[in-house]
Structure 1
Amino acid sequence: MVSPEMLRRYPYFAKISEESLKEIAMMAEERSYPAGLQLFNEGDPADYLNIIVEGEVQIQYQLGNGEKRTVDTLVPGDILVWSALIEPYRTTAIGTTSKPTKVIAIKAKPLRELCDRDPMVGYQLTREIAKLLAHRLESARVQLAAA
């Protein structure tokens, strides 16, 4: 469990009720990873929604020729594995730590259940993920065009 106050630091949770925030905090835990660790591969189950607290994670796509291309670098405050909330609940890229990294890992299934019970939580998180996806698509487009 993490504290609700810790979650409140991130804009994704700014407008969520105290009661729902406490419930999310009960689903969450802090995790630490060394630099150079591949956290997930494209198509892996997205069982946790993560928020980066410290460190960096490189997001890569594997191209048709087998080459991996970094399309984004996630930093503290960024959401990692947004696909934990969006069907089919599978990762869409490769994520590798480039520095020692600490995250808040929130169990996806109970978080999705909370979103179903509390539409405001679902709306806030989906809105933030939509903004994040728009940014990441633009970043990926720039990175792929520059190659």
Structure 2
Amino acid sequence: MELHPDLVYLGGADQYEEEIFEIIEDIKLFEAFSLDEVRTLCQLMHCYAAPKGITLLKEGDAGDYLILILTGNVEVTKTIPSGEVKLISQVGVGATLGEMSMIDGCPRFASCVTVLPTDFAVLTRETLNDVLLQMPRLGNKLLLTLLQTMSIRLREAIVESKVDLSSGLYVASL
């Protein structure tokens, strides 16, 4: 896992449990989890601080981790074939980013850049695999939640892209 050199390591997410519990209703990833399960996941994640303008995830890079936004805002952008960079979305507290690459091992689909100073937690693929092996109930619950998040985003992207599902033709650009 390679992170931007301007990031400041804040320590384990378990050191920020109180802050995480204060914003837990905003964290979709934790919606189906008990406080004890969230506490366990916090013990497995690490927190970082990023100033404004830092690329947290870069389109095309390898990705073996996801990030959970704890404070701040992040723009998600995609470079289209013409070379133009298009804004996909802007996300804030509670959003997860990078789960697709963490799960499928493919290069990052989009770039994510901080628009405000941003604190975030990191969950690695290795940690997810360890949880699946050592705590299968929690690991499977986490994996299912990540897959549900990806499914929702895929459905939204299809609707927004105006793909003609009957012909398979793409009728609009990003």
The two structures have a TM-score, normalised by structure 2, of: 0.67
CA distance in 1, matches of 2:81, 2:103: 25
SS of match in other structure, 2:119: strand
Percent sequence identity is: 22
Answer with 121-130 or 57-66: which moved more.
121-130
CA distance in 1, matches of 2:113, 2:127: 26
Q: Which has the larger radius of gyration?
A: 2
CA distance in 2, matches of 1:63, 1:69: 7
Indicate the residue corresponding to 1:54 in structure 2: 71
Pairwise CA RMSD = 2.8
2:129 equivalent to 1:118: no
1:66 positional shift: 0.7
Q: Which structure carries more relative contact order (alpha carbon 8 Å, separation 6+)?
A: 1
Deviations 1:37-93 (A, max 9, x none): 111212323233211011111112111111111112221111121135412164221
1:107 positional shift: 3.2
2:115 equivalent to 1:98: yes
Indicate the residue corresponding to 1:44 in structure 2: 61
The two structures have a TM-score, normalised by structure 1, of: 0.77
For structure 1, list consecutive stretches of 5 or more residues without a partner in the other structure: none
Indicate the residue corresponding to 2:13 in structure 1: 2
Q: 1:74 aligns with which of 91, 94, 111?
A: 91
For structure 2, list consecutive stretches of 5 or more residues without a partner in the other structure: 1-11, 163-171
Answer with 101-110 or 132-141: which moved more.
132-141
Indicate the residue corresponding to 2:166 in structure 1: none
The total of aligned residue pairs comes to 146
User: Do the aligned residues in 2 keep the contact of 1:43 with 1:92 (CA within 8 Å)?
Assistant: yes
CA distance in 2, matches of 1:51, 1:40: 12
1:121 positional shift: 2.3
